[in-house]
Amino acid sequence: MATLVRHGMVAWLAIGASLLAPLGYWTALRAINGRRREGEPPLVRGHVPFVGVAASFGRDATSFVQACQAEHGDVFTVFLAGNRMTFVLDPLSTPAVLKAKQLDFHPISDDVLAKAFKLHQPRTRIDLEEIEAIGRTRLRGERLTSLSSRMSARLEQLVPDAFDASWSSTQLYQVVWDIMFRAGTEALFGDDTVTDDLRADFEAFDEQFPLMVAGVPKALARDGHEALERLTRAKLPGNDPSHWIRDRQPIIDTLPAAERGRLRLPALWAIHANTIPATFWSLYWLLRSEAGLSAIREELAEVCPSGVPEVADLDALTKLDSAIREALRLSSGSLTLRQVLEDFELQTESGRYAIRKGDRVCLAPFITHRDPGVFDDPLTYRYDRFYSAEGRKQFYKDGKRVPLPLMPFGAGSSMCPGRFFALNEIKLFLAIALSRWDIELADDPEPPFEFGRAGLGIYPPAHDVGARIRRKG
């Protein structure tokens, strides 16, 4: 009898545990990942406490966000790695987000500086706003001309010297990476700055940058953290740095010596991390477009008869500009984030929503970039999609003009100050490469995107592609 009682108790305990386990799981999920309050957007909690939807978002952010949009509409909240993020996807509602006084970009940028560059609370010790202002004034207009000329001079040296007159089989992304990294680093930071160690450390840091920004334990991104420490000791700037770098230096010098290197690294990362893959995609898709390549070659011959583009010619290369913007449209995975400073109601095209203090509001331009209501046949590369002989081309949705149809560089207070230089860099590389090289792509399938960089900018290719290149006689 005692044995039967014991077996019965064990059975009931097992049954009870099987019933309580799901209850405990759902209780934990609700307690950690939150619940939807009245007036708030639909909430996508995910299935793992704290982690939320991080795994699905990391695998393919575009497909995940599109699936949420199909189920919940243009405004919804997701729980992602400890953060509540409210997505606003209707492009007609973008101005409402950018103008909301309850939303601020500075907490987002400070979080990135702390996690990825180990710069904790720099605004309390240095005038970051002055550094940002220097970037806004030195990286556009007439002041940009000298910097673009420095970039052009280095590309004019590096591109022809990369290959000789006989065909060479190579990997296209690696070629672009090597040339753009050296040219861009030297144009900004000066001569004698690029070494094999700097290249290797930057690649290691950049590869694990997404993990570091996400705040994963240091042990899971050890290579990135170790590369960061070595990069802080790199000899930057070198001889004859650009005016932008020189103008920043007096402010940086007010920091303790150990931190000066850390504040230089965001500039190094910013000029390469997205520009290099954007240059690759711009070249790759042009080479795959017979009509596009022919049109760009004709434009280059007309605007630059000598075959060597002058910086003053870049604005006249309107078809090339369109081809680059189309590549940016297809390859961008960037997010525009704002921190919510206080509870408020956000008015969008689809309704009014209660937004919590401490949450983040997120614009996902890659959804607009692939919206057939804005861009006809959005998954197809069209080199002339953004070309107009009468000025900037306009795009519409539901009969209304979309104010910001293309946002690879962010918008508002978080718009990248280096966007004009980045476009000039890409134009210069393409113009010089197409005038100096014969290029044939290998018969390889188009590489997929490396989705591990979701939210951070331009997706690199998941793998390289073969090509044959020779220098023109």
pLDDT-above-90 percentage for the chain: 78
C-alpha 264/C-alpha 38 separation (Å) is: 46
Reported as a pLDDT band with limits 50, 70 and 90, residue 125 is confident
Looking up tokens 């706003």 gives 129
| For residue 371, pLDDT beyond 80 | yes
pLDDT of residue 26: 45
Task: Please state, rounded to an integer, the average pLDDT across all residues of the chain.
Answer: 91
In one-letter notation, the amino acid at residue 204 is: A
C-alpha 388/C-alpha 377 separation (Å) is: 18
Nearest to 112 by CA among 215, 19, 250, 197: 215
pLDDT-above-70 percentage for the chain: 93
pLDDT tens for each residue of 48-97? 887 899 889 988 899 999 999 999 999 999 999 888 999 999 999 999 99
Top-confidence residue, 112 or 32: 112
pLDDT of residue 256: 84
Phi-psi category of residue 102: left, alpha or beta, with phi > 0 → left and psi -120 to 50 → alpha: alpha
Say how many C-beta atoms besides its own lie within 10 A of residue 79's C-beta: 23
Average pLDDT over every residue of 438-446: 95
User: Maximum distance among all alpha carbons in the chain?
Assistant: 102
Average pLDDT over every residue of 13-25: 47
Radius of gyration of the chain (CA): 25
DSSP for residue 42? P
Say how many C-beta atoms besides its own lie within 10 A of residue 55's C-beta: 14
pLDDT tens for each residue of 127-140? 888 998 999 888 99
* Pairing status of strand 351-355 against strand 168-171: unpaired
The helix-helix angle for 243-252 and 141-161 (nearest 10°) equals 110
What would the DSSP string read from start to end of 112-136?
HHHHHH---SGGGTS-HHHHHHHHH
In one-letter notation, the amino acid at residue 90 is: D
Nearest to 308 by CA among 432, 189, 430: 432
pLDDT tens for each residue of 189-245? 999 999 999 999 999 999 999 999 988 899 999 999 999 999 999 999 999 999 999
The helix-helix angle for 106-117 and 257-272 (nearest 10°) equals 110
Average pLDDT over every residue of 439-447: 95
Average pLDDT over every residue of 360-377: 97
pTM for the full predicted model: 0.92
Q: Which of 45-59, 146-160, 259-273 has the lowest mean pLDDT?
A: 45-59
In one-letter notation, the amino acid at residue 471 is: R
pLDDT of residue 141: 86
Element (H, E) at 196: helix 196-214
Phi, psi for 468 (deg, rounded to 5):
-115, 130
Average pLDDT over every residue of 133-159: 93
Q: Which two tokens stand for residue 75?
A: 């405004």
C-alpha 384/C-alpha 326 separation (Å) is: 8
